[in-house]
Structure 1
Amino acid sequence: MAFEPPRRLVRALGETYGDAAAGDWLARLPELVREAVDARRLEVERVSAPGGRSGLVLLVRTPDGVPAALKVAPPFASPGLELAALAHWDGWGAVRPLPGEGPGLLLERLHPEMSLRSLPEAKALLEAAGTVRRLWVEPPAGHAFESVAGRTARQAEAMRTAAKEDPQVADLVAAALEARDALIADAPEELLLHGAFRQGKVLAADDRAPWLAVGPDPLVGERAFDLARLVRDRVEDLVGADTGASTGRRRVNRLADSLDVDRERLRGWTLFRAVESGARALAAGRRQDGEVLMEFASWL
């Protein structure tokens, strides 16, 4: 099966998991796709582009002609945990897995060309808040999901390394790590979180719900951590506006209040996640992205 993996997927896998691991898996991707398609007897329509950042998504039809989406992801991206989270939500606020055995994740078909980013900002944030609220449920018994404390501990180590290599970001990294330590020491709840929630992760659906979340990187922790990535959506627009700093701070307060989340906890996690993403972008050579994120973080 001949196709070219979307560039966003290639870049994201290399940045997150290393070029060597990503390259080995991408070299085997056509074979893996063929196995997944043949095992389920699917008809492939096309590759979804730009697609996601953790796996290749193909628009397919089942043997019964039902439209679906097939996601083929590397084992180091933990597709089993993604499937476990989606199965636990069972369509409540998120895309629903379809029955059947075989490699990859077979999911109900949404509209990949229409995410919340296609809406005006105020409407997009309102719909996003309503969607993410549904995902915050008790995790299943005996789950294997990572904790916010565990994930951010690993990220903190990479941030310390980044600060040593780029002294210009040292002060922001120190502030972000201080905020993280205080937040971890006094976590208020342990809920199942999406982990990567933002406007681009919410797609238009059909009769069952107008909008559904896709592509979780699930973990267990407090709601403020999950909401923190949403705060900086369309960050380029914020940074480019004269009122960007005040608008960003108001967004923290507005989202916190609308979802009954403590303002200071949301501000702290927004700072940590923005600096972590910014440091990672700078380390990967994406200077412009990194500088934008660091400027946003400096407002908090």
Structure 2
Amino acid sequence: MGFEPPQRLVRALGETYGEAVAAEWLGKLPELTRDALEHAGLAAERVMAPGGRSSLVVLVPRAALKLAPPVARPDLERDALAHWNGWGAVRLLGGTEEGGLLLERLHPEVSLRSLPEAKALLEAAGTVRRLWVEPPADHGFESVAERTGRQAAAMAAHGAGEETGALVAAALAAREELLAGEAETLLLHGCFRQGKVLAGDRTPWLAVGPEPLVGERAYDLARLVRDRVEDLVAASSGASTARRRVNKLADALDVDRERLRGWTLFRAVESGTRALDAGRTADAELLLEFAGWL
């Protein structure tokens, strides 16, 4: 099977894991894909493009084959999907010798982003609620404290003398306060947003692409709050709409409003500073303006 990896995947892997790590895995990807298809006895239909930011998805008859570099920890995604067993998430059908995941076939062109905003948020809330379950007793998932600890260290490099300094300081302070009062230890999706919920056949909407960890629901909900951030920033009522969205989602899912606001702030600033470091200035400006509203 000859193909070029989607450019979105090439860019995102380099930004997240470094150019050298990305180049090494991408160089092996055509062979890894051929071997995985051959060993599983599968025939490729097409590669999903633009596809994901950390994996290649190949559509095969009645299923999808997902390949990700070991540094992206596809084993943890496998464990989370196996634990959910199709409840609110795509069903894991099996794996390959190359570490690939064989997944239930969904409709990849149809995500919640295809719906009007109010309907999309309603369906997203109903989907993410199903994922919040007790983790397996012997799980290997990291905690919210561990993941955000690494992120906080990178954020701290944007010192107080820089334009983003006040937002970074507020986000780091919010994290410390939130972790001091964290009580829940549930299995979380880790990267939940509208684009991560696809149309299915056995149920209308199913989550895909988890970056699983354990912790409180407010952390998992925080990324959803800023969905369609470009529309929010473009609207004259964007700031008030964003604050109302925090309250509506918190109330709908029985999450504390202030905890959701705090994690939304932290995650927006973290994404914004990461975008700055990667040279994605336009993305960073959107994210940091949104964070300033909170």
Give the TM-score, by structure 1 length: 0.96
SS in structure 2 of the partner of residue 57 of structure 1: strand
Distance 2:15 2:89 in 1: 26
Matching residue's letter, 1:191: L
Query: Is 1:278–1:294's contact at 8 Å kept on the other side of the alignment?
Result: yes
Matching residue's letter, 2:107: H
Distance 1:77 1:163 in 2: 29
Distance 1:211 1:190 in 2: 25
**Is 1:241 matched with 2:235?**
yes
Q: Give ranges in structure 2 of 5+ residues lacking alignment.
A: none
1:101 to partner: Cα distance: 4.6
Query: Is 1:162–1:283's contact at 8 Å kept on the other side of the alignment?
Result: no
1:175 to partner: Cα distance: 0.2
Could you tell me which residue of structure 1 aligns to residue 76 of structure 2?
Answer: 81
SS in structure 2 of the partner of residue 44 of structure 1: coil
- Size of the aligned set, in residue pairs, is 293
SS in structure 2 of the partner of residue 167 of structure 1: coil
Could you tell me which residue of structure 2 aligns to residue 178 of structure 1?
Answer: 173
**Is 1:130 matched with 2:126?**
yes
Matching residue's letter, 2:163: Q
Runs of 4+, deviation exceeding 6 Å: none
Match of 2:268 among 267, 270, 274: 274
**Is 1:30 matched with 2:21?**
no
Could you tell me which residue of structure 1 aligns to residue 254 of structure 2?
Answer: 260
Distance 1:109 1:256 in 2: 32
Identity value in percent: 73
- Measured on the aligned residues, the alpha-carbon RMSD in Å equals 1.0
1:188 to partner: Cα distance: 2.0
1:292 to partner: Cα distance: 0.5
**Is 1:192 matched with 2:187?**
yes
Matching residue's letter, 2:54: S
Could you tell me which residue of structure 2 aligns to residue 294 of structure 1?
Answer: 288
SS in structure 1 of the partner of residue 221 of structure 2: helix
Query: Is 1:82–1:215's contact at 8 Å kept on the other side of the alignment?
Result: yes
Distance 2:59 2:127 in 1: 23
Give the stretch that moved more between structures: 166-175 or 249-258: 166-175
Could you tell me which residue of structure 1 aligns to residue 7 of structure 2?
Answer: 7
Q: Give ranges in structure 1 of 5+ residues lacking alignment.
A: 62-66
Query: Is 2:81–2:91's contact at 8 Å kept on the other side of the alignment?
Result: yes
1:2 to partner: Cα distance: 1.2
Matching residue's letter, 1:122: A
**Is 1:46 matched with 2:78?**
no
**Is 1:221 matched with 2:220?**
no
- The 1:255–1:171 alpha-carbon spacing in structure 2 relative to 1, beyond 3 Å, is same
Matching residue's letter, 1:143: H
Matching residue's letter, 2:194: Q
**Is 1:211 matched with 2:211?**
no
Could you tell me which residue of structure 2 aligns to residue 56 of structure 1?
Answer: 56
SS in structure 1 of the partner of residue 158 of structure 2: helix
Matching residue's letter, 1:53: R
Distance 1:289 1:41 in 2: 41
1:259 to partner: Cα distance: 0.1
Matching residue's letter, 2:4: E
SS in structure 1 of the partner of residue 103 of structure 2: strand
Give the TM-score, by structure 2 length: 0.98
1:102 to partner: Cα distance: 3.1
Distance 2:218 2:95 in 1: 35
